[in-house]
Structure formats: C-alpha cells, structure tokens
Amino acid sequence: MVLEFERPPSVSLWTVFRKKGRPVAAGEVLPRVEARARVLDLDPALYARTCGFAATDPLPLTFPTVLARGLQLTVLTHEALPVRLAGVVHARQRIEQRRPIRAGEALSGQVWIDGFRPARRGGELDMHTVVHAGGDEVWHGVTTILSRELPGDGVKRPGVEDIPFPLRRSTSWQVPGDMGRRYARASGDYNPIHLHRLAARLFGFPRAIMHGWWTLARAVAEADTEIPPACVLEASFLSPLFLPGQVSFESGPLQGGTRMVVRNNRGKKGDGRILVADVRPA
C-alpha cells in the first residue's frame, strides 16, 4: 500500500493517542504501508537551536527525520499497523548520509516499516526514512522502535561492548525538565512519555524521559568536526535519560571512526550509558 502526498500531512495528536493496538501472533507478517511526499521543506532554525547545532546549511545530519515526520506519523498511525504509537521507545538508529544536504535544495521523501521481530520485552519494528534530492537518494535512516504491546520472547541479547577509546572531547550537559516539550515543538514528536511525569507514569516510567532523537542530535552537534560530511552512523539507546538530568558526553577515535557516549554517572546501576553511537566515513 502506497500513500502519495504533495507534502507530508499533518497528523493530529488525537489520532496518535486514540489509536489502539491489537494482539499480534508470533511470526505474523505485518503489511507494508509506505508514504511518499514530493516536497519536504521545513525551516531547520528552531530544531538547530534546540539541539545545539551552530549552523543550518548544510542541514544537520539528524534533521531529515523531522522533514519526514508527517510521513512517519501517517505510517505509524495507519489502521493496517497494529501498534499504538503512544508509549513506543526508540531502541536503535542507523543513518547513511551520502553527501551533505544543502539548505534550499528541492527534496522529496518516503517512509515505510519493516518488521516485526520479537525482543526481550516486546517487539521491534524498523521504520525506514529516505530523502531524495534531484532524484538521488542522499539520506537513509532506519529507526528501530520497541513496542511493549507486541509479543516478546524473553531472550536477553548481547549488549553494546563498552570499549575504551582515547578522548578528544569530554563535557557535561544539564538537561532541564522542559526539554522534552521544547524538542516536541521543534520536531513534532509529542509522544507523552517525553512530555510530563504523570503521562510517563502511564507507560511505566517514573519520570518523563528525553527523546532519543534529541540525545543523538545533541551528541552529533557536540562532536561537530568529527562527523564526516558523508557518513554512516549507528546508535543504540541503552537506558532512559530522565528529566531533568545531568549527563556526560565523551567522543574519540575508535576502529576507523568516532565513538560518542552519553553517560549518566549519578547513582545508576551498570555503567550508566544512555547512548552509544559510532560514526564513520561512508
């Protein structure tokens, strides 16, 4: 099923919140729903300020997901997909940028979902977002989301290895309690787990948690010149960043690329890692 639009449609919050899931059988093949838009043209200024980018030309590496947000919501809220969007968690992210995208370029996009597959505590779906310029694919993101409403298998998978690396950058961030609402205004992502403590509790979180996309974007903005203009980035979101929060950021060379780590070192079990991302030249 392919849905065609001139520009990404607006999807109301009511649609996001009211959609209900349905039971999914293990091994069930979900239908492919794809949405396309001939024009993607949002102003990146508010997004850049919210995530810490110094410039908007070329576009920030993570901004194309915001350009295609209306397509993503159209697919995620389609009645053919059994997932309730409210409460899903960003588990992993892959981005391949073939070249920098210049501000003002004529862009088009498409979004579709593959999946699902069982995880330890729910099921995972892969959402593909592709941006084209002049008919050529310039950006391809794969967003892996976890829904606790989908059936899991209880199997613990290997974690992301905590490999030592020489530091080039090390700093800390103060993340205020309203940052989830600020990022929602900049991105259009109004998942309630990010907006308020009481809403987050409805989905099993003691406090609101920060959007994974903001944490990744903030890390990319912090690393700055360590990010190649044509690159492949792979990120894992290992634990929530609860709001408000204070976290550390570290980056440095690892295995031919750059590793970025966002860590909460204040009274947390384990190594405190929130985000681990590796970026290398494409």
Which tens digit of pLDDT belongs to each residue from 134-160? 989 999 999 999 887 777 788 888 889
Rounded average pLDDT over 112-123: 83
**Residue 70 or 149, more confident:** 70
Which span out of 9-23, 63-77, 201-215 was modeled with the highest average pLDDT? 63-77
pTM assigned to the model: 0.91
Average pLDDT, the chain: 90
Bridge partners of 47, per DSSP, are none
Which tens digit of pLDDT belongs to each residue from 213-248? 999 999 999 998 899 999 999 999 999 999 999 999
Helix 212-223 × helix 179-187 angle, to 10°: 90
Domains of the chain: 2-18+33-151+165-281 (3.10.129.10)
- pLDDT for residue 169: 95
Which tens digit of pLDDT belongs to each residue from 3-45? 999 999 987 766 666 656 666 776 777 788 999 999 999 999 9
- pLDDT for residue 48: 97
